[in-house]
A and B are shown apart, each in its own frame.
Chain A
Amino acid sequence: MLRGVLGKTFRLVGYTVQYGCIAHCAFEYVGGVVMCSGPSMEPTIQNSDIVFAENLTRHFYGIQRGDIVIAKSPSDPKSNICKRVIGLEGDKILSNSPSDFFKSHSYVPTGHVWLEGDNLQNSTDSRYYGPVPYGLIRGRIFFKIWPLSDFGFLRDSPNGHRFSDD
């Protein structure tokens, strides 16, 4: 009787470990479903939207300007942030908010990216904590699953004038 129960418990633990490891490998190396919270990416991504993120682009260093990425938060190491890549290394960035009188430019250092939310008024991003090291990027969001009214690939940035291409 006891042997039966023990056997069942071991089998359950074994399956949990196995499926947990498969889930880890899938999320780490392929991609997964993510729920976003917060208003900083409106109108592209609203609060409590469910999106699909892939991690292959990050491993092959193919992140480009205009991609929406998930990264480890520079201010709180246990949480993730979801922002758009405005500049890659070497790009010239307008590093002040639109309300400042003098426009100031700065260059994104090597190995870093400049992230901004689409909702510029309500987003703590690189304008607050500076350029983010590329190594903190976890994955790229490219497809929205929920709400169904907004199902499909994500739109381009509504703030096109932030890109400075020279």
Chain B
Amino acid sequence: MAHSQGWVKRYLKAFCKGFFVAVPVAVTFLDRVACVARVEGASMQPSLNPGGSQSSDVVLLNHWKVRNFEVQRGDIVSLVSPKNPEQKIIKRVIALEGDIVKTIGHKNRYVKVPRGHIWVEGDHHGHSFDSNSFGPARSTTVTHVLQKSNHTEVGCLQALTQGS
């Protein structure tokens, strides 16, 4: 009897010890390094979710690369939605601070991106809730980066002049 009780106690002790190591380490890793998420919506077609509602892409969200909020033109990033803080939106960075952007459907035809802000757009123009709707977004709301740009794509973007 004493022998099996000792076994249970040792098991519980080992479980608690493992639990208090594994959970904080895992949570810290998911917050600070990277996590995985499913993409919903059609605003980034054809780059993300090309299959529409049949198949949602699962992507790796990298926090470590943007821990200093340094993003490049052409990166696909996830940021806190300026209109609804409970939601995160995934868009492509089109322009950085100081650039002048030619907008689609915004009230001003040309917008100069203010300091500390970025201009984001979805790849599927017209089906995207992005800077053309809510204006420039603060770069400190960027939480993760999905895909760093390869610079061949920069030529197609709509940034006209580049500041500094």
Binding site for B on A (CB under 8 A): 17-18, 20-22, 24-25, 28, 61, 72-75, 77-78, 109-112, 133-136
Binding site for A on B (CB under 8 A): 20-21, 23-25, 27-28, 31-32, 68-69, 80-86, 116, 138-141
- CB pair A28–B20 under 8 Å, yes or no, is no
- CB pair B28–A110 under 8 Å, yes or no, is no
CB distance from A126 to the nearest CB of B (A): 13
CB distance from B111 to the nearest CB of A (A): 15
Inter-chain CA distance A31–B68, complex, in Å, is 23
A24: contacting residue among B32, B81, B82, B139, CB under 8 A: B32
Inter-chain CA distance A157–B81, complex, in Å, is 30
Known: A24-B31, A74-B138, A110-B84. 9 other contacts (CB 8 A): A18-B21, A21-B28, A22-B20, A24-B27, A73-B140, A133-B82, A133-B138, A135-B81, A135-B141
- CB pair A134–B140 under 8 Å, yes or no, is no
- CB pair A78–B86 under 8 Å, yes or no, is no
Inter-chain CA distance A110–B69, complex, in Å, is 23
- CB pair A136–B140 under 8 Å, yes or no, is yes
> Contacts A72-B140, A135-B141, A136-B138 known; A18 to B83 CB distance under 8 Å?
no
- CB pair B82–A17 under 8 Å, yes or no, is no
Inter-chain CA distance A21–B23, complex, in Å, is 9
- CB pair B85–A61 under 8 Å, yes or no, is yes
- CB pair A111–B24 under 8 Å, yes or no, is no
Q: Which residue of B lies closest to A111 (CB)?
A: B83
Q: Which residue of A lies closest to B88 (CB)?
A: A135
CB distance from B131 to the nearest CB of A (A): 14
Inter-chain CA distance A134–B80, complex, in Å, is 9
Inter-chain CA distance A17–B138, complex, in Å, is 32
Closest 7 CB pairs of A and B: A135-B80, A134-B85, A21-B24, A21-B28, A22-B24, A111-B83, A77-B69
Most chain B beta carbons < 10 A, residue from A18, A28, A112, A133: A133
CB distance from B90 to the nearest CB of A (A): 15
A21: contacting residue among B27, B80, B82, B139, CB under 8 A: B27
Specify which chain A residues have a CB less than 8 angstroms from the CB of B25 in the assembled complex: 17-18, 21
Inter-chain CA distance A25–B116, complex, in Å, is 28
- CB pair A110–B83 under 8 Å, yes or no, is yes
Inter-chain CA distance A112–B24, complex, in Å, is 31
Specify which chain B residues have a CB less than 8 angstroms from the CB of A110 in the assembled complex: 83-84
> Contacts A22-B20, A110-B83 known; A77 to B139 CB distance under 8 Å?
yes
